[in-house]
Structure 1
Amino acid sequence: MATLLHLDSSLFPTAASASRSVTDAFRRTWEEQHPQGTVIYRDLSAAPVPHLEVLAASAAFADPATHTPEQAAAFAERLKLVEELEQADAVLIGAPMYNLSIPSTLKAWLDQVILMGRTAGPDSSVKGLPVTVVASRGGSYAPGTPREGFEYVQNYLEAVLGELLGAEVHFIVPELTMAASNPAMADLIPLAEASREQALVSAAEKAKLLAARVAA
C-alpha cells in the first residue's frame, strides 16, 4: 500500500492557515485514492523535532563502531526520521513563508533528514521521490513582482530537496494571503481568493496524479 509522508509547519490551525487548508485538500484526495494506504503525519508546529545538535551531527561522520553511547542514541533518533522519509512513496510539505523564509521547525526537520552519503548526494536513497510543497505567502514574490528578489522559500527548498536529495519537487503557491486582513492590500482580495481556489484545485489534481502514479 502507498505511504504518504505529510508535514505541516504553520503556526495556525487549518481554518486560519492557507498552507494547512491546501495540504488538507491534497491529503483528503490522496486518501480517497488510497483508502487502504498509510499516512504518516507530523505537525512540526505542535510537535517539533529537535534541532540538530553536535552528537547526532558528529555521529553521521564517524564509524558506528566508534560511537559513544550518547552519539548512538542521538543518531538513532535521527535515523528514525530518515527512515520515515525513505519509506514514503510521496511527500507533502506545508511551508508557509515566515519573515521571507521557511519556519524554523521545518528547517530543523530538514537538518535531521539531510544525511550526506545516504539521503543526500549522487546516490541519494530518496532520489526521484515526489515531493509536493505548499508554499503559501502573505504577498507575492512571483517573477516580475517588486519582491521577486526576496523569494527564499521556493529557491531554498528546490536547492535542498531537489539538488541535495535528488527529489522531484513540485510547488503549489497560494499567495496574497494577507489581503483580507491588511487594509493596504484590500484591492488584491479578488486575486488572493483566486489564488487560494487555484491552489485547492491544484492540490486535488496533483494528489490524484501522484496517487495513480504510485499505484501503477
Structure 2
Amino acid sequence: MQNSKLKTQNSTVAFVLCGALAREVVAIVRRHGWDVALFGVAAQDHLVPQQIGPDVERRLRELIPRFERIVVVYGDCGTSGRLDQLLDHYNVPRIAGPHCYEMYAGGDHFDAMMRAEPGTFFLTDFMVRGFEGTILKGLGLDRFPELRDTYFANYRRLVYLAQSDDQALAEKAGLIAQALGLPFELRYTGYGQLEARLVALVAELDHERYQPRLAEPLPAAPPARAAHVRRTARR
C-alpha cells in the first residue's frame, strides 16, 4: 500500500470514517501514499451516539462485498461499547481510542488535562470551522440561546486542540470561548495519536485476522433521545 494513490478504482482497502475526521484522514492517507477508498458517516451522529452504530453498519454491509479489508476510523464516541460489539460481529478493526480528543491529545496528555480540570470543553479544527452548525444549531442554541448557560453550566474552561497552525481558527476558537464565558487555552496537537495509531493498524492489515465477514445484521439498539453536553467531554 505504500506506493499507491488515494481512492483509485482498484483499491482493496476501505476506511469508514467519522465526518469530523475526514480532512485529517485524507491528509494522513496522502502523506503515506495509501491506496484506500474513503467513506464517511455524518458527524452529526455524535448528538445521538446510538445512531453511530446503525450508520456504520449500513456502510459495512455495503462495502464488505467490495473490499478485502475495511478499517473504521472512529472512537467509541459515546456508544458505550456498542460500536465495538458491531465491529466484532463483522470482524472489522477500528483505530484505538475513546474519542478524537484523546486521539489528538494522546492518552497520557488527555488524562492529565481531565485530572487537572474535569469540566473541560474541547474543540478541534472541525468543530471550530463548523461551530455554528455542529454545536449551536445541533443543540438548538440558534433558536433558544437562553439554554447556553444550562448546557455549559458545568464547564470551567475551553481547550482548543488544534490540528493546524491556522491563526484564523485560533482567533475564532477564542471568540467561541468568550461567547461561552469560559477561559481559553490553545494546545497544538497536529494529528497526534490519530496518525500513529492509524499507521500501526494499516501496517497489520495483510494479516488474515482482518478479513471482514458479512454477517446477519445486529438487532437494533433501543431508541434514545439526543444527548446533552456533559461535564466530561466525550464524542
What range describes the TM-score normalised by the shorter chain of this pair?
Answer: 0.3 to 0.5
Give the TM-score of the pair, scaled to structure 1. 0.39
